[in-house]
Amino acid sequence: MLRKIILLSILFLGGLSVSMAQKEQSAKVLLDQVSERYRSLDGLQASFEYHYYNDLDGASQSSQGEVAVRGEQYKLVLPDQEIYNNGKTVWTYIKSGDFKEVTVNTVSRGEDELTPSSIYNLYKKGYNYKILGESTKNGKAVQEVLLTAEKAQAQFQKIKLFIDKSTKDLTAWEVSDSDGGVFKYQFKKLDTDVELSSSFFTFDPKRYPGVEVIDLR
């Protein structure tokens, strides 16, 4: 009986140490600093490069865009669309030649949703994390942190964050999804000294005469 209790204790402590190792404390400290840095901002604006590839089917795509973020609100500008999110409503404006259309939806609160604002707090639920080391991006020292999904069925299995070592700003990230695709985002110009009002993240149809509005709320 005593031997059985000792064996169970060893198994429990062993499992506990493995579980704790999945969430590296030094990585949590760094991620908390990044999250706190983001919450302290009145807003940020950046231009970025985007790359996608999938080794399974050979698909690849590259693009550029601009993004503005404040809290849960963001505005994303891509070559053929703009997305406005004021925290409650999201507008997706499609612009292709003479075709112009905007769809209106209520903001989704899905656990797996990855947005320009959620990336700063994604580690807090559903992910393990560890520091991989340091590297250089755009001539600046960055720390690399790997987030790994706790659930095998999670949409995004791995997310690598690149964090400016001196400012604790997020400068780039790479996302691996469950279909073998890898998305890479890197800020080219980042301005963290801007003040953005709520109206900045709200689509105003008056500024786009003739646009078709499709309200799906």
Those residues of the chain that have pLDDT short of 50 are 1-21
> Which DSSP symbol is given to 202?
S
**Predicted pLDDT at 17:** 38
The CA distance from 170 to 34, in Å, is 7
For residue 128, CA distances in Å to 109, 110, 131, 160 come to: 21, 19, 11, 12
**Predicted pLDDT at 152:** 87
* pTM of the model as a whole: 0.82
CATH fold label, 24-215: outer membrane lipoprotein receptor (LolB), chain A (2.50.20)
At residue 176, the 3 state secondary structure works out as strand
Q: DSSP assignment of 1-50, as one string? A: -HHHHHHHHHHHHHHHHHHHHTB-HHHHHHHHHHHHHHHT-S-EEEEEEE
What's the pLDDT tens digit per position in 8-52? 333 343 444 344 448 999 999 999 999 999 999 999 999 999 999
